[in-house]
Amino acid sequence: MKRHPWQKHERWQRDDRRGAAMVEFAIVAPLFLLLIVGTVEMGNALEASTHLSSALREAGRLAGMDWTGLLAESESPNTKIIRDIQNFMTAAGYPGDQIAITITSVEGTDEGQTFDLGNPDNEMRLFKIEASIPYEQVSSFPHGFMQGRDVAARLVMRAGRISLMN
């Protein structure tokens, strides 16, 4: 069987196109992979930030309650709140002991200083709870791009005790 000249030329064009497709894939695939990894990383950071915000909201709610009977012997309200935030984050799958938590005054001459929730003189004063966790503890992939960065949340509330009536 004799081949026509155009059949040979057609095969050459198919092989050439197949090579071009491989080159295009080699260029585009890493970009798509980078996009997917970045989306997963941003999702992890957003999820950690949401959990931190929820933990602080619950801690603020506790700080505004009458904690009589809720505190262990020789435990301060500040210690209880810090421990509860760490436990909340541990239950969410994050290392609670890696979270930096501060409770500070927002107003007055002691602005920025540690705020004692158990002090009756602090009644009806504003305080801030801040928590942060190193990004390395949140990340799914080992890389140094966000090294030294933290995922953080903060909450400002007024100190006051709400008694729960039975």
Q: pLDDT 10s digit of each residue in the chain, 166 long?
A: 565 555 555 555 555 666 778 888 889 999 999 899 888 888 888 999 999 999 999 998 888 777 777 788 888 899 999 999 999 999 999 999 999 999 999 988 889 899 998 888 888 889 999 999 998 888 877 776 777 788 999 999 988 766 555 4
pLDDT number for residue 133: 93
pLDDT number for residue 37: 86
CA distances from 26 to 20, 22, 32, 40 (A): 10, 6, 11, 22
164 lies in some domain: no
Question: Number of folded domains in the chain?
Answer: 1
pLDDT number for residue 149: 85
71 lies in some domain: yes
55 lies in some domain: yes
165 lies in some domain: no
d(CA 8, CA 118): 89
139 lies in some domain: yes
163 lies in some domain: no
d(CA 161, CA 119): 12
Q: Residue 88 sits in which domain range?
A: 5-158
Residue reference for tokens 């799958």: 93
d(CA 81, CA 84): 5
20 lies in some domain: yes
166 lies in some domain: no
d(CA 75, CA 81): 10
pLDDT number for residue 3: 58
pLDDT number for residue 16: 62
Contact 97, 133 (CB under 8 A): no
